[in-house]
Structure 1
Amino acid sequence: MSRVLIIESSARQQDSVSRQLTQTFINQWKAAHPADEISVRDLAIDPVPHLDANLLGGWMKPVEQRSDIENASLERSNQLTDQLLAADVLVMAAPMYNFAIPSTLKAWLDHVLRAGVTFKYTPTGPQGLLTGKRAFVLTARGGIHAGASSDHQEPYLRQVMAFIGIHDVTFIHAEGMNLGGDFQEKGLNQAHAKLSQVA
């Protein structure tokens, strides 16, 4: 049995293309892997605070010097990180907002990219500690950005995943969602065709 962790980040609950892709992924994964455990964390419903001095204090201060709020910030980060560590497969659903990922997803990443936990520093540079995991990124984009300089999603998330040791990363882009007509239909068809090969 594998554990699948899904991170939703669309600000919309209704009419969200990335959420539609997520549901398709879940249905197909369950059909192929009925014994697997799937957990969903919805960052729109339960957002993670942005990185702040309280979280930094929780990470860096000795326990006897931490305030109550720093301890609470550390505990939240521990819960999020433990959930990621326990997962065998990570799925991030990320609509493109202003050429990048939603700020809620960035905040989640800021909680789980932790020195000594998900990566470590070595004399030859940082080394990821989450080897052996797979990741899938489901994106929805108003325009067409794959391979263009306007795409700040895929390069960033590939680098972040590699930084923590996840090198098996598959991107599934639904592009042209705001262009209407044939562009939207083609983008959805291509995304669903790639999704059908995932499970």
Structure 2
Amino acid sequence: MTNTVLHIDASARRTGSTTRDLSDRIVKHLGASRIIRRDLATPLPLLTEAWINANFTPADQRDAVQRDLLSLSDALVTELQEADTVVIGLPIYNFSVPAAFKAWIDLVARAGLTFSYSENGPKGLLDGKRAVLAIASGGTAVGSEIDFATDYAKHVLGFIGIHNVDVIAADKMALDAETTLSNAQKAVSELAA
């Protein structure tokens, strides 16, 4: 059993979303004792010059305004640090990830908190965690040459140290939604808890 799950939904659709349904099923299947919820349909701010300057100011030298600018990012990083498993409902929008998910990535990929630099390149600091991606698309096949979402999400998670990533795909829904959903739901039930 997973102790703490960070459940992230990136779909702009609050109702009728395949990824929301699948990610809910995954979270229930995992049987976590604690669930941290992050719904990206509530917009996250985009990075600004002031945010970047605050981020690159050493923590002990930040003023109150800079600490305030980074407070949401700090909270998002803490959610990741506290989770054993990250479940992400991730639709493919126009062959890639939703802008809301990219905004989340920009706020959590922070040197010294979720990754560090070394002589051998960057090293993720969130080792030992697992991620499960519930990915849906209308016409894009997951893993195909036009899917720029799945490998990107897996790469970013690996960059911050999460290398154990499972993918539950409900792709090409516009072609055969019933079979696709049935297969995805079966994959959830077969997912190792």
Common topology (TM > 0.5): yes
Aligned residues of 1:57 and 1:66 also touching (Cα < 8 A): no
Say whether 1:44 aligns with 2:37: no
Give the TM-score, by structure 1 length: 0.89
Say whether 1:185 aligns with 2:181: no
Unaligned runs of 5+ in 1: none
Say whether 1:123 aligns with 2:124: no
Report 1:19-98 matches (<5 A): 19-30=20-31, 33=32, 36-45=33-42, 47-62=43-58, 66=63, 68=65, 70-98=66-94
Pairwise CA distance, 1:83: 1.0
Distance 2:45 2:146 in 1: 27
Q: Give the letter for the 1:129 counterpart.
A: L
Pairwise CA distance, 1:65: 6.1
SS in 2 for 1:143: coil
Counterpart residue number, 2:96: 100
Query: What is the RMSD computed on CA atoms of the aligned residues?
Result: 1.6
SS in 2 for 1:178: helix
Aligned residues of 2:36 and 2:79 also touching (Cα < 8 A): no
| Overall identity of the aligned pairs, in % | 38
Say whether 1:150 aligns with 2:146: yes
Distance 1:56 1:67 in 2: 15
Unaligned runs of 5+ in 2: none
Q: Give the letter for the 2:14 counterpart.
A: Q
Q: Give the letter for the 1:22 counterpart.
A: S
How many residue pairs are counted as aligned between the two chains? 190
* Bigger mean CA deviation after superposition, 54-63 or 73-82: 54-63
Distance 1:144 1:150 in 2: 7
Pairwise CA distance, 1:177: 1.7
**Residue 169 (structure 2) aligned to one of 160, 169, 173:** 173
Give the TM-score, by structure 2 length: 0.92
Counterpart residue number, 1:9: 10
